[in-house]
A and B are shown apart, each in its own frame.
Chain A
């Protein structure tokens, strides 16, 4: 399959000097379900804004759906669908009217539009609320309507900026199901950003983990987990600051330990077989009078990958509504 997005050395420097996107390169294949996973402020939304023609890049190049971002933004707009982080539906219009207006923006002819709108209302299960004003919808319903408006013209490429942030688990699961269906059945390429590793793990076949405007690591979720190559054991010590250096020494010398890194519990150890090595750790600490306060272990998760590469965990934050943040960083 050919690339539908090709990005080379993309940089975005805001007017205050912040490097929101710091020299990233990646590509997305047609039909792919591609994800950007990273914490708040990592540069995910900025990248989407650039690729959807909302924000001008500082440097680098990008080809989206066969069109150069600088030269043919109009052609790009015809074939992409975008759901931004802030749910943007017109509360004074009904769900149906929101969809119809969006169809008009996309220049769909009347008969086709009518049919498409009914189809979408069914898809996102808003048929019963179709003629109610969107103002009265719940948060989950608004998100679903917003998603439907992005789909009205059957975009080849769909950009979703944190589509499930702030949703309850039930609504989230519903959105996940639509997206999987869309990708599988209609072949729509999806570019999604998220700060939820479960979401990235469940949906994305290709993933780039992004932090401080840089791509830290990329690959399929399975590949990435294989790279960690080990289970993780999280250790808390009663006196972390005092005992940490000696604990690290002891751990690195144990057989079977692949790496030891600082984490918020105190230390995280990666080892081939966590079940066996825990006993060794407890014994070794006991001998050295280091007091453990808790031990837990698990198979590798995407969070472990993030932790291994950045020394921090992804900490999903519920979004605080920041009005007009979307165009706020535009260079003047």
Chain B
């Protein structure tokens, strides 16, 4: 079985491609920083609202509240690039070049997914470090931070499945960005990513209760603000797992059609 070694080779290939594209690298690293600074500055006076502490489960500042949301927003953006990269490999003929070799078919997908997850982890670590520098703390410490990173990366993987499936189906990077971009903001704003439930209008609250983003954000947030609330964390894993089964299942199905 060459699945493991082939995945490793492709993981390295994708990371090299990222590191060697200064513009892509710049945006990968600075986008999360910009998001964090911009959103937390813009909405910083949220914390002056009456009931903020209660609504956020005890956050000391908007920054502390929103860090988990920014982690998710960033994972969203990164996951979109999975789909465009597979379209690029299709367009340049590199995918075909791989397919005429004995390389493991699944490694082509896994290499991509693992490198994307790795990137999200690095970006998330930057966001958390910056949040610390700005005065937020993670109450669960290093263990909690690792669990937060895992949660976000797991979410990123599941979400990569959507862009990969669109990329494989349409073979157009523009479509991946159009559909992905279209989904991002409604899903993000109609979740608990940037706004506490108590501050939401009723209809958005109803959407938010069904929004997988809310579950993921809530898990990262309790780890940051409250402690190891396993019920919330496991609920998030369950929800992400369900999404992953659907999106990665679709990706696998479409990928098999391309490679078989």
> Which chain A residue shows the least CB distance to B2?
A107
Please state if A78 and B102 are interface contacts (CB–CB under 8 Å).
yes
Q: What are the residues of chain B within 8 A of A177 when measuring CB–CB? A: none
Q: How far is the CA of A106 from the CA of B103 in the complex (A)?
A: 7
Q: How far is the CA of A330 from the CA of B9 in the complex (A)?
A: 28
Most A CB atoms within 10 A — which of B2, B5, B97, B171?
A: B97
A190 interface contact, C-beta 8 A: no
A52 interface contact, C-beta 8 A: yes
Please state if B94 and A90 are interface contacts (CB–CB under 8 Å).
yes
Other-chain contact of B21, A54, A82, A87, A92 (Cβ < 8 Å): A92
Please state if B6 and A104 are interface contacts (CB–CB under 8 Å).
yes
Q: How far is the CA of A230 from the CA of B260 in the complex (A)?
A: 49
The answer to whether residues A106 and B101 also contact, given A90-B17, A90-B94, A93-B16 and a CB cut-off of 8 A, is: yes
One of B31-39, B85-93, B194-202 contacting the partner: B85-93
B49 interface contact, C-beta 8 A: no
Q: What are the residues of chain B within 8 A of A324 when measuring CB–CB? A: 90-91, 171
Q: What are the residues of chain A within 8 A of B6 when measuring CB–CB? A: 104-105
Most A CB atoms within 10 A — which of B93, B100, B103, B257?
A: B100
The answer to whether residues A105 and B16 also contact, given A54-B96, A88-B92, A326-B96 and a CB cut-off of 8 A, is: no
Please state if A92 and B100 are interface contacts (CB–CB under 8 Å).
no
Mark each residue of chain B from 108 to 142: 1 if its CB lies under 8 Å from any CB of chain A, else 0. Answer: 00000000000000000000000000000000000
> Which chain B residue shows the least CB distance to A82?
B100
Other-chain contact of B100, A54, A93, A133 (Cβ < 8 Å): A54
> Which chain A residue shows the least CB distance to B14?
A92
B17 CB to nearest A CB, Å: 4
Q: What are the residues of chain A within 8 A of B93 when measuring CB–CB? A: 84, 86-88, 326
A47 interface contact, C-beta 8 A: no
> Which chain A residue shows the least CB distance to B91?
A323
Please state if A52 and B100 are interface contacts (CB–CB under 8 Å).
yes
B235 interface contact, C-beta 8 A: no
Q: How far is the CA of A324 from the CA of B90 in the complex (A)?
A: 6
Which residues in chain A, 142-178, are within 8 Å of chain B measured between CB atoms?
149
A235 CB to nearest B CB, Å: 44
Q: How far is the CA of A224 from the CA of B100 in the complex (A)?
A: 33
Most A CB atoms within 10 A — which of B21, B91, B98?
A: B91
A332 interface contact, C-beta 8 A: yes
B102 CB to nearest A CB, Å: 5
Other-chain contact of A133, B20, B92, B96 (Cβ < 8 Å): B20
Q: Is the interface of B mostly helix, strand, loop or mixed?
A: helix
Q: How far is the CA of A104 from the CA of B10 in the complex (A)?
A: 10
The answer to whether residues A105 and B98 also contact, given A133-B20, A324-B91 and a CB cut-off of 8 A, is: yes
Q: What are the residues of chain A within 8 A of B204 when measuring CB–CB? A: none
Please state if B100 and A88 are interface contacts (CB–CB under 8 Å).
no
A53 interface contact, C-beta 8 A: yes
Other-chain contact of B92, A52, A53, A86, A104 (Cβ < 8 Å): A86
Q: What are the residues of chain A within 8 A of B17 when measuring CB–CB? A: 90, 92-93
The answer to whether residues A327 and B90 also contact, given A104-B9, A105-B102, A332-B257 and a CB cut-off of 8 A, is: yes
Q: What are the residues of chain A within 8 A of B260 when measuring CB–CB? A: 56
Q: What are the residues of chain B within 8 A of A56 when measuring CB–CB? A: 260
Please state if B16 and A92 are interface contacts (CB–CB under 8 Å).
yes
A20 CB to nearest B CB, Å: 17
A74 CB to nearest B CB, Å: 6
A216 interface contact, C-beta 8 A: no
Q: How far is the CA of A74 from the CA of B97 in the complex (A)?
A: 14
> Which chain B residue shows the least CB distance to A322?
B91
A225 interface contact, C-beta 8 A: no
Please state if B16 and A97 are interface contacts (CB–CB under 8 Å).
yes
> Which chain A residue shows the least CB distance to B19?
A92
A159 CB to nearest B CB, Å: 8
Please state if A105 and B91 are interface contacts (CB–CB under 8 Å).
no
Please state if A102 and B101 are interface contacts (CB–CB under 8 Å).
yes
Please state if A90 and B13 are interface contacts (CB–CB under 8 Å).
yes
Please state if A327 and B103 are interface contacts (CB–CB under 8 Å).
no
| 19 CB-based A-B contacts, threshold 8 Å | A56-B260, A77-B102, A80-B100, A84-B96, A86-B92, A88-B92, A92-B16, A92-B20, A93-B16, A101-B13, A105-B98, A105-B102, A105-B103, A106-B101, A323-B92, A324-B91, A324-B171, A327-B95, A332-B257
Q: A87-B93, A105-B9, A105-B101 are in contact. List 14 more A-B contacts (CB 8 A).
A: A56-B260, A77-B102, A84-B93, A92-B21, A104-B6, A105-B98, A105-B102, A323-B92, A324-B91, A326-B96, A327-B90, A327-B95, A327-B96, A330-B258
Q: Kindly list the 7 A-B residue pairs having the minimum CB-CB distance in the complex, ordered from nearest.
A: A88-B93, A105-B101, A323-B91, A86-B93, A105-B103, A88-B97, A92-B17
Chain A residues within CB distance 8 Å of chain B: 52-54, 56, 74, 77-78, 80, 82, 84, 86-90, 92-93, 97, 101-102, 104-107, 133, 149, 323-324, 326-327, 330, 332
